[in-house]
């Protein structure tokens, strides 16, 4: 995947452990039948963190989502640890909250912190009871193994149908202090964020108030994760949490201004990159699709148009087939639920192999099928739409719809 460069920000390694004071671990606790698969992960901060979070808007919220919301409310937005398991979503069952609370309690006791400072998350099959035993049996091992190099183990523990781990981190300066912000994400199917998506944990050593961190997260989620669609399904378990421990030593950010913008940009870079990784690793995906809509009446309209294209199953199939069936883009733009006109619209398809204009002033134009085939043979396809009506601009990310998506989801539980 290509990585876009941003001036003043340096991509670094380390993911969720890139920032000072954060350690992590992951291991096989027994939720998964495959003993080689990590299924329990933890992230821990040496010091308490201001914490922001956004959650799924699905009515059927998983128990860990509800418990995390309650914990952060009780702790006044302070957290020190993230505990996450895969294979079982702890959703749509009868004793989910009790289990999630008990798991937090086990982690808190082992770490010596208040239970309310634990963020708990689950991902996997919906509708089955989550056993507590694996937490009991492995909490000591999980905590004693926490280290600065544990980010890989932790990200592996939250993977389900993911084929690659998703991590990103950047280094930047705040008032002359070196700051780092990095994260890990999981997600491959059941992804159509409506607020947050998938499981995403981000850490930073920048000092920032909970309120300003929440504001930055809300703004950035809107133009990153919420512009991602793999399959139109909004999960019961989605969560993005950002933990800021302040160890970088900058003056705490408490209002908008240069420092806030700088931190928000770091958050954007990391979340945008993880969004692209999630899209590229969509279940069964062979191509990353990036749809940029500009010239919309406003940003919200641009988002709706770009997402409508990215979500269309017919368009996704055409991209898998490398067929420049641009009529499906027109169709998907046409049913986007917003007020705008398509009469002046231009559409182009592009990739590393070149650019093919397919529509001018709202109507199809002749194009070279040969060039189109070359453009669509690439792994990253850009769909550029200009409505020529205003300043609204947005990008949405997705992937093609393939045989493997059907295969993976035809028998997910086993």
190 Cβ neighbours under 8 A, 6+ residues apart: 230, 231, 233, 234, 235
Q: Which of 362, 340, 328, 356 lies closest to 295 in space, CA to CA?
A: 340
Q: Please tell me whether residue 189 binds a second copy under the rule CB under 8 A.
A: yes
Q: Which is nearer to a second copy, 148 or 407 (CB)?
A: 407
Site map for a second copy, 353-392, x if CB under 8 A?
A: -----xx--xxx----------------------------
Nearer to a second copy, 321 or 354 (CB): 321
Using CB under 8 A, which residues numbered 251 to 280 contact a second copy? none
Toward a second copy, which CB reaches closer, 21 or 189?
A: 189
**Continuous segment of H or E residues that includes residue 357:** strand 354-360
Answer yes or no: are the C-beta atoms of 81 and 45 closer than 8 Å: yes
Query: Residue with structure tokens 């408490």?
Result: 254
Buried b (16+ CB within 10 A) or exposed e, 19-33: bbbbbbbbbbbbbbe
Selected binder of a second copy within 57, 140, 144, 163 (CB under 8 A)? 57
**Token digits of residue 19:** 């920032």
Say how far apart CA 51 and CA 292 lie, in whole Å.
31
Q: Does 4 bind a second copy (CB under 8 A)?
A: no
* Residue 297: CA count within 13 A, CB half-sphere: 8
> Scanning residues 279 to 318, which ones bind a second copy (CB under 8 A)?
311-314, 317-318
Q: Which stretch binds a second copy (CB under 8 A): 26-34, 97-105, 337-345, 385-393?
A: 337-345
Catalytic residues: 197
- CA triplet 199, 294, 317: central angle to 5 degrees? 60
CB of 360 to a second copy, least distance (A): 10
Contact 224, 267 (CB under 8 A): no
CA 1 to the chain's CA centroid = 16
- Residue 20 vs 402, nearer CB to a second copy: 402
Least distance in angstroms from the C-beta of 349 to a second copy: 13
Q: Within 121-150, which residues bind a second copy (CB under 8 A)?
A: 125-128
Per CB under 8 A, which of residues 152..181 are in contact with a second copy? none
Residues at the site binding a second copy, with contacts judged by CB under 8 A: 57-61, 89, 91-94, 125-128, 189-190, 192, 194, 231-236, 311-314, 317-318, 320-321, 323, 325-328, 330-336, 340-342, 358-359, 362-364, 401-403, 405-414
């Amino acid at each position: 995947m290509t990585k876009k460069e941003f001036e003043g920000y340096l991509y670094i390694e380390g993911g969720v452990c890139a920032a000072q004071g954060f350690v992590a671990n992951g291991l096989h606790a027994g939720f998964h039948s495959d003993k080689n698969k990590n299924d329990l992960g933890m992230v821990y901060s040496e010091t308490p963190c201001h914490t922001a979070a956004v959650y799924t808007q699905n009515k059927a919220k998983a128990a860990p989502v509800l418990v995390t919301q309650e914990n952060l409310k009780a702790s006044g937005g302070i957290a020190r640890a993230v505990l996450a398991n895969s294979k079982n979503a702890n959703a749509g069952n009868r004793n989910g909250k009790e289990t999630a609370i008990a798991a937090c309690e086990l982690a808190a006791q082992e770490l010596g912190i208040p239970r309310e400072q634990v963020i708990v998350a689950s991902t996997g099959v919906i509708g089955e009871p989550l056993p507590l035993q694996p937490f009991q049996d492995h909490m000591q091992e999980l905590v004693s193994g926490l280290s600065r190099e544990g980010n890989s183990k932790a990200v592996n523990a939250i993977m389900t149908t993911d084929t690659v781990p998703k991590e990103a981190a950047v280094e930047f300066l705040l008032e002359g202090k070196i700051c780092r912000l990095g994260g890990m994400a999981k997600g491959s199917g059941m992804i159509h964020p409506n607020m947050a998506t998938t499981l995403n944990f981000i850490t930073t050593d920048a000092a920032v108030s909970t309120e300003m961190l929440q504001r930055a997260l809300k703004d950035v989620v809107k133009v990153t994760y919420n512009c991602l669609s793999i399959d139109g399904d909004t999960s019961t378990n989605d969560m993005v949490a950002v933990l800021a421990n302040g160890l970088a030593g900058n003056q705490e950010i408490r209002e908008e201004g240069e420092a806030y913008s700088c931190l928000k940009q770091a958050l954007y870079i990391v979340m945008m990159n993880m969004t692209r990784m999630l899209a590229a690793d969509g279940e069964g995906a062979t191509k990353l699709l990036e749809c940029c809509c500009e010239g919309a009446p406003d940003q919200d309209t641009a988002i709706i148009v770009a997402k409508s294209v990215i979500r269309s199953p017919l368009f996704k199939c055409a991209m898998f087939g490398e067929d420049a069936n641009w009529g499906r883009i027109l169709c998907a733009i046409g049913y986007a639920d917003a007020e705008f006109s398509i009469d002046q619209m231009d559409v182009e398809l592009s990739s590393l192999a070149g650019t093919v204009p397919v529509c001018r002033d709202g109507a199809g134009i002749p194009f070279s099928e040969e060039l189109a085939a070359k453009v669509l043979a690439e792994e990253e396809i850009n769909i550029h739409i200009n409505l020529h009506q205003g300043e609204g601009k947005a990008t949405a990310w997705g992937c093609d719809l393939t045989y493997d998506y059907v295969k993976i989801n035809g028998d997910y539980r086993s």
